[in-house]
């Protein structure tokens, strides 16, 4: 994960801002964001349905489930690709009116979205067998290394900017080929015979997939509409600045993504056994552990934010500083609420997810339309903060009312208090080069934060992990 984080920083914060103009980088990010946005719509909830129903079909029927859902995904994708291609000129003109040449690369977006949706489906199949190492490696390292390679190919002048942008879908194709290779190594999977599940089960899965399709579509609207509307309302330069600032903040959420992938099959199996005690325990522990790690990353980022932006090749990116703060606080808040999204998706409450999103989509679009003209980049960040924050509060309330579970523990207050104190280091600039300043502040924060959390025992899981490794170290000495 941390190697991937470093590569991601090199790509997003240093390499691409250096080799591309701000407008070109904005177009690059818009193509990828739009592709990811469309991929979940194309999938029609198939990836979610695979995780939801796999425990029920485990064994002789699991390949029938796989083929049935893959068929749903491909049919949905090709229908929507055809519709999007037919309406591409009108669609891109309306949605991305200030986004320059984006319409020229809309075919790249569609192909990228198809490949991304199939890849996600295969990765989820691997996760059902608790084989999360491969998906985690490919998401955090593999894809970023492929993008890094594409960047160097352009940097050395071997391709034009147009070929570089078209190469995005080639990167995704390579990613899919690698995932497919690992998928085929599963000894218990056979590509023949091709059979699907019975009609009654198919109807049940279609019903669930439809809700997940609406939920995933809505969540992508909520999650991506800010960057898309920045491109629409302000332009490609603003898109690039927003993308870099947003990426720095999203770093806070990286541990949550890894933990979520580890817990997905466990939660799905627990609900299949009606083991609500285990789910409630995971809910609270995930919230505390995510807040513990997320707070440390937030402090490290915000205390060094000015030095971070000093290291970015172009000065214009510093305009995104407060976008990083607003989105960073949002990501930290989301982490403090644990695995609420996973609990709703794999319980009987999944329909509520869609109902909430239906309301939230209108709020998100409306708030962006109002706040971006008023406050620019910060307006988009505030709109995202309000919409996603409200959405997460609604999920916590729903789980509390319907399942009698909550993610809160007293130790979380200790984490927040120490986090606020250490964040004040932002107001203490050091008279050194940015790299040296970052190193000094970060080392100080790591020592104070880690010792405080360990001796205050805010997380039994974290302390057990540390004690285990201390014993291993002593045994080797």
Two structure tokens written together for 300: 């490290």
At 191, is the pLDDT very low, low, confident or very high (cuts 50, 70, 90)?
Answer: low
Is 299 exposed, middle or buried (CB count within 10 Å of its CB: 0-12, 13-18, 19+)?
buried
Of 95-99, 296-300, 371-375, minimum mean pLDDT range? 95-99
Percent of the chain at pLDDT exceeding 90: 15
Q: What is the pTM of this model?
A: 0.75
pLDDT category of residue 437 using cuts at 50, 70 and 90:
very high
Which of 363, 362, 344 is closest to 353 using CA atoms? 344
Q: What is the pLDDT of residue 11?
A: 81
- Say how far apart CA 107 and CA 116 lie, in whole Å: 14
What does 227-279 look like in DSSP terms, one character per residue? HHHHHHHT-HHHHHHHHHHHHHHHGGGHHHHHHHHHHHHHHHHHHHTT-HHHH
- The average pLDDT across 110-130 equals 83
Crossing angle for the helix pair 411-423 and 276-303, nearest 10 degrees? 10
Q: Give per-residue pLDDT as tens, 283-302.
A: 888 899 999 999 999 999 99
Q: What is the per-residue pLDDT for 220?
A: 66
**What's residue 272's pLDDT?**
76
Highest mean pLDDT among 79-83, 84-88, 192-196, 349-353: 79-83
Residues 320-340: tens digit of each pLDDT? 899 999 999 999 999 999 888
Arithmetic mean of pLDDT, 231-248: 81
DSSP code per residue over 113-150: HHHHHHHHHHHHHHHHTT--HHHHHIIIIIHHHHHHHH
Give the model's confidence band at 130: pLDDT under 50 very low, under 70 low, under 90 confident, else very high: low
- Mean pLDDT score, 308-314: 81
Percent of residues in the chain assigned helix, strand, coil, to nearest 5: 85, 0, 15
Per-chain mean pLDDT for the chain? 81
Angle, alpha carbons 182-183-187 (nearest 5°): 100
Helix axes 377-403, 199-233, angle to 10 degrees: 150
Give, as one character, the DSSP assignment of residue 376. Answer: T
Look-up: residue for tokens 């466990």? 266
* Residue 63 reports pLDDT greater than 80: no
Check: CB of residue 385 under 8 Å from CB of residue 330. Answer: yes
C-beta separation of 321 from 245 below 8 A: yes
């Amino acid at each position: 994960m941390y190697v991937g984080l470093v590569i991601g920083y090199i790509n997003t914060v240093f390499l691409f801002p250096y080799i591309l103009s701000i407008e070109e980088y904005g177009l690059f990010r818009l193509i990828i964001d739009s592709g990811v946005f469309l991929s979940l719509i194309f999938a029609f909830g198939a990836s979610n349905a695979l995780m939801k129903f796999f425990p029920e079909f485990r064994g002789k029927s699991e390949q029938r489930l796989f083929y049935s859902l893959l068929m749903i995904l491909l049919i949905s994708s090709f229908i929507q690709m055809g519709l999007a291609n037919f309406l591409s000129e009108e669609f891109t003109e309306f949605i991305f009116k200030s986004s320059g040449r984006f319409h020229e690369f809309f075919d790249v977006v569609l192909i990228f979205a198809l490949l991304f949706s199939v890849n996600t489906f295969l990765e989820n199949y691997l996760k059902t067998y608790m084989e999360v190492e491969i998906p985690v490696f490919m998401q955090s390292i593999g894809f970023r290394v492929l993008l890094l390679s594409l960047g160097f190919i352009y940097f050395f002048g071997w391709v034009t900017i147009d070929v570089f942008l078209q190469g995005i879908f080639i990167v995704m194709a390579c990613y899919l080929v690698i995932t497919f290779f690992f998928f085929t190594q599963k000894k218990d999977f056979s590509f023949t015979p091709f059979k699907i599940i019975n009609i009654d089960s198919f109807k049940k899965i279609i019903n669930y997939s439809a809700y997940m399709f609406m939920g995933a579509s809505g969540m992508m609207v909520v999650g991506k509409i800010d960057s898309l509307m920045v491109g629409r309302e302000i332009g490609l330069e603003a898109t690039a600045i927003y993308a870099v600032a947003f990426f720095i903040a999203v770093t806070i959420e990286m541990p949550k993504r890894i933990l979520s992938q580890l817990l997905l099959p466990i939660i799905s199996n627990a609900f299949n056994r009606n083991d609500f005690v285990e789910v409630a325990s995971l809910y609270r522990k995930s919230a505390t552990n995510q807040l513990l790690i997320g707070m440390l990353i937030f402090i490290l980022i915000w205390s060094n934010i000015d030095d971070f932006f000093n290291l970015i090749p172009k000065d214009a990116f510093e305009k995104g500083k407060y976008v990083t703060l607003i989105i960073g606080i949002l990501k930290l808040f989301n982490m403090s609420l644990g695995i609420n999204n996973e609990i709703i998706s794999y319980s009987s409450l999944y329909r509520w997810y869609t109902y909430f999103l239906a309301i939230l989509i209108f709020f998100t679009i409306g708030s962006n339309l109002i706040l971006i003209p008023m406050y620019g980049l910060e307006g988009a960040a505030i709109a995202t903060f309000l919409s996603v924050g409200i959405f997460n509060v609604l999920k916590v309330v729903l789980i509390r009312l319907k399942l009698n579970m909550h993610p809160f523990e007293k130790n979380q207050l200790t984490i927040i208090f120490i986090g606020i104190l250490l964040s004040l280091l932002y107001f203490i600039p050091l008279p050194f080069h940015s790299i040296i300043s970052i190193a000094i502040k970060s080392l100080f924060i790591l020592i104070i934060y880690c010792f405080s959390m360990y001796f205050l025992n805010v997380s039994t899981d974290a302390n057990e992990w540390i004690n285990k490794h201390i014993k291993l170290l002593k045994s080797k000495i």
